[in-house]
Amino acid sequence: MFIFKYVLVILYCTLIYKLSRSERSFNNWLFDYISQKGKYSAIKNCGIQWLLLSFEDDQDKESLETCFDVFHDEIHINPRLSKIGARVKKVNNSHHFS
């Protein structure tokens, strides 16, 4: 069920992004978009997951650091995000992530 919800949320965000005609990258736009959402928002949680996995895939450590800093509370509250965050930190072998 989570995968279905995740796909729907990302498709929704992609649609909003396309309709906004933003000239920024999807990840930059998504970061700002979900930053405005409530702490327990499904959109925010799915967006954080997308960003963590995307930044990990791109090996973008600076963006990962920023994501961990800005969404620290949400990552620690949500078990799925905690697991993903721990794996990303381990894979990147970085001790400076909080």
Residues 11-36: tens digit of each pLDDT: 999 999 999 999 999 999 999 999 99
The residue among 23 and 3 whose pLDDT is bigger is 23
> Is residue 98, in this structure, part of any structural domain at all?
no
Rg (CA), the chain: 13
32-57 pLDDT tens trace: 999 998 877 889 999 999 999 999 99
> Is residue 97, in this structure, part of any structural domain at all?
no
Number of domain units in the chain:
1
Per-residue b or e along 35-45, where b marks 16 or more CB atoms closer than 10 Å to that residue's CB: eeeeeeeebbb
> Is residue 74, in this structure, part of any structural domain at all?
yes
Share of the chain above pLDDT 70, in %: 92
Domain that holds residue 42: 2-92
> Is residue 41, in this structure, part of any structural domain at all?
yes
